[in-house]
């Protein structure tokens, strides 16, 4: 049996790596980052795209168990596609 809980059955974190989970009586904080084994792809044409910058952002989710607040801290990556000239 695992000594720490895993959110994997509840959240679909494809292409992301869980960096840490902090639980308190009323707040759950999950920190994730992009899985470096996967290339960044343009959502419009699917081609490999370059990276412009990375930012840490926070998304708030619905209550889970005794946690009234769930925060997911994730690494947002901005890129530029040379193929179709889109910026994401």
pTM across the whole model: 0.70
The 10s digit of each residue's pLDDT in 54-84 is 899 999 988 877 788 999 999 888 888 888 8
- The answer to whether 21 and 32 have CB atoms below 8 angstroms apart is no
Dist CA 19 CA 34 (whole Å): 10
The pLDDT value recorded for residue 9 is: 60
Contacts of 32-41 with CB under 8 Å at 24 or more apart are: 32/72, 32/73, 32/74, 32/75, 33/74, 33/75, 34/75, 34/77, 40/77, 40/79
Q: What is the pLDDT of residues 2-34, one digit of tens each?
A: 455 565 566 677 788 889 889 888 898 999 998
- Taking alpha carbons only, the member of 18, 38, 37, 40 closest to residue 29 is 18
């Amino acid at each position: 049996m695992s000594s720490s809980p895993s959110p994997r059955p509840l959240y679909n974190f494809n292409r992301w790596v869980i960096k840490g989970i902090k639980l308190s009586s009323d707040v759950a904080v999950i920190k994730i980052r992009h899985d470096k084994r996967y290339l960044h792809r343009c959502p419009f044409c699917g081609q490999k795209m370059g990276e412009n910058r990375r930012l840490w952002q926070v998304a708030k989710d619905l209550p889970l168990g005794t946690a009234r607040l769930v925060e997911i801290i994730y690494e947002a990556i901005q890129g530029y596609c040379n193929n179709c000239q889109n910026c994401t």
